[in-house]
Structure 1
């Protein structure tokens, strides 16, 4: 998970090992819920969340009754989204390199870590590159 401000500065980054998770979609939804919760606690600004999981984006942006196995999790996410102006959009995996690195790190290193105002060196570098490319 990676939270950045409107200038693309890192507010916090984290990775967490999930011990019980049905599949990758559930892990994406868990990350959305945790990210929204932390974002709401750390800032009063509107939240724009970008994800490379189109299925997760469609579930949290869906209208109507969700009858999937993820219904409770999606309902909790929608409640959090109602607390702050929130936008969840889909981006390609190539645009999500820093977050993808954090996911792989949690899975391969079996650890949970939070970095305030920073991240592991690789994530800091990815964010700098991302910032430079967006200003070109």
Structure 2
């Protein structure tokens, strides 16, 4: 399955259009699919992190959103993989439709789709994600730019900074609501 993307030209401070830079927008999943956006946050000073997760249906409606505080985290990659692992597990409980999983971490996306032995420090997490995906059925792992992952990023930040772990069914927390509306499709 090929996933396309759309961009919106960004204007500079003078209000002139900069045609070299595009702000890419979140795109709703195709009919009959869901889209899971995940993101991790990491603080190298105190080795803590956050996970942000949002699952949307084909018409863009939020099925659930989640943030989690990661009390102990060794890297940004580990935070991203933790968000992915938790997101897939929760998404399977709320939808049986095929799933597009979007992350803004290219390394995580590549590790998950890679065949063969993973020898990284995060190998156990990657293997667990791959095994869970085998049970999921039809799915696509996609790397996206951060501007297409703003809501998951804000949720990861909320989990980390506020040291909060929560799940919202059919909605998102107020502090990310405005951002989610900006992040959604036009």
When normalised by structure 1's length, the TM-score is 0.91
Q: 2:127 aligns with which of 72, 75, 79?
A: 75
Gaps of 5+ in 2: 1-52
The CA RMSD over aligned residues, in Å, is 1.3
Gaps of 5+ in 1: none
The structure whose residues are more often helix, as a share, is 1
Paired residues, number: 133
Q: Please name the residue that 2:179 is paired with.
A: 126
Q: Check conservation: 2:151, 2:183, Cα contact below 8 A.
A: no
Question: Which protein, 1 or 2, shows the higher relative CO under an 8 Å CA cutoff with sep ≥ 6?
Answer: 1
Larger Rg: 2
TM superposition outliers: structure 1 runs of 4+ over 6 Å = none
SS of 1:66 mapped into structure 2? coil
SS of 2:70 mapped into structure 1? coil
Deviation at 1:121, TM superposition (A): 2.4
SS of 1:58 mapped into structure 2? helix
1:62 aligns with 2:62: no
The structure whose residues are more often strand, as a share, is 2
